[in-house]
Amino acid sequence: MANKDAPFGLRPVGELGSEVQTGGTSKYLITSGDSTAIYKGDLVKLESTGYITASGNGDAVVAIGVFNGCFYNDPTTQKPTWKNYYPGSITPTVGKIEAFVYDDPNKLFLIQGNGIIAQSSVGRNADIVYAAGSTINGQSKTEMNSTTASAGATAQLRIIRISEDPSNSDIAATDANWVVRINEHQYYADVIGV
C-alpha cells in the first residue's frame, strides 16, 4: 500500500521510555528583522548571539529543538500576534519576537522520509531535507533524508521506529513516517551549538 506524500516537519509524539508527553515548550528569542522564515515543525538552532534561527540540511550546528510558533507585536498594526510560523523580516517597534520550542532532548518526533528507509536503519542516524513550509497554515515541509539513513554516520536525527499510522507505515514504499529523536541536540552536546 502506498504511503501518503504529505511532509509536515517534526511533530511531537512522545518521550523516550514512554514517559509522560506534556507537549511543553520553552521560550527563546528570534533576532528582530531576521529574514529567515521558520515554520512549525522546523529544527532550530541557537546562534552565538543567543537567538534562534532555522537549522538547514545536514547543518553541522547542533539543534536546540523544534519550532512551535511565535508571538510578537505586529509592526504595522501594533497588535499582539501569534503565528504558527515566523514569516521572516519582522521588526517589532515594541517588544521582542518570542519563539516557542520543543527543546526536551528526550522528546520523540514523527517525520516523513523522502524515500524508502529500511527497517535496518532503526538505531541509525539521518539528516533532514529542508523545504520551505506553508504560509497558509505555517506547517513545515521538512523531511528525513533517506539517502543518509543507512550510513550510520553522525547526523541530525536518530531513527527510533516506524510510525504506527496505517496510512504511512509501509517501509517498502517511499514517504513512510518514522519516529525519531534529535541526535545532535544542544542539551546532549558538550559544547555550545554555535
Are 113 and 164 contained in the same domain? yes
Looking at the fold, whether 66 and 137 belong to one and the same domain comes out as no
190 within a domain of the structure (yes/no) = no
Q: Which of 52, 87, 102 is the last residue of a domain?
A: 102
Per residue in 2-32, pLDDT (tens digit) is 899 999 999 999 988 877 777 789 999 999 9
Find the domain containing 142 and state its range: 11-15+106-182
Count H helices, E strands: the chain? 0, 13
Residues 71 and 121 occupy one common structural domain: no
CA distance 58 to 60: 6
Q: Which of 66, 86, 69 is nearest to 12 (CA)?
A: 66
End-to-end CA distance of the chain: 43
Any domain includes 119: yes
192 located within any domain: no
- Within this chain, do residues 28 and 92 fall inside the same structural domain, yes or no? yes
Residues 115 and 64 in one domain: no
Q: What is the pLDDT of residue 1?
A: 65
- Angstrom distance (rounded) from CA 184 to CA 170: 27
pLDDT tens figures, 151-181: 667 889 999 999 999 999 999 999 999 999 9
pLDDT band at 192 (very low <50, low <70, confident <90, very high): low
Q: What is the pLDDT of residues 43-84, one digit of tens each?
A: 999 999 999 999 987 777 889 999 999 999 999 999 999 999
Q: What is the number of domains present in the chain?
A: 2
Does residue 2 lie in a domain region?
no
Are 44 and 88 members of one domain? yes
